[in-house]
Amino acid sequence: MTKAVGLTLKDVRRLVDHAVARADLPGHQARERRQFEDRYLTWSEDHTGMVTLNARLDAVTAAPIRTVIEQMVTHQFRQRRDQDPSEQDRRTPGQMRADALHDLARHALGCDNTTSSGVRTTIVVRMKLSDLNSGTGLGSIDGTTQPVSVSELRRLAG
């Protein structure tokens, strides 16, 4: 009880969680196995073309994902200090996390080390050559139902 004096609620909870886990280590390990077995990631696309990701991850699976995304967001917040106020990054932390996940996936698509599964993936974009040359018009991305503007497809290719 004396350890909790002066600690934040978050820190007290962490102490309690650790004490409970230590008191019943076999039960804690069984819970971890269940959580690992129950992990998933799904996505759905609504009628406007927005994609919703829904994930439920155990602590070990989530740790590298959370760590790298938060590291990327922290770096971007630090860069804001040196930006010209007229051109300052105005994205929310949630938008920055979405952009970090996008950047990670784009990196993986181009990384030679991601081919160890024997499967090489590519994003397939379709559009008319005239739309590409003019910079206007619409195209599509295989696997999505919504049309995508040529300007956004160019951003994807960037």
Task: Write the DSSP string, 84-141.
Answer: -GGG-----HHHHHHHHHHHHHHHHHH-GGGGTTS------EEE-HHHHHHT-SEEEE
Residue 71's pLDDT is 92
Among candidate residues 158, 142, 53, 132, the one with its CA nearest the CA of residue 98: 53
Contacts of residue 70, defined as CB under 8 A and 6 or more positions apart, other chains included, come to: 97
Edge-to-edge order in the sheet of strand 125-127: 125-127, 138-141, 148-149
| Chunked mean pLDDT (size 10), the chain, 158 residues | 79 85 88 92 94 92 89 89 81 94 88 62 82 86 80 79
Among candidate residues 158, 152, 101, 157, the one with its CA nearest the CA of residue 124: 157
* Domain locations along the chain: 57-118, 123-158
Bridge partners (DSSP) listed for residue 56: 40
Residue 157's pLDDT is 76
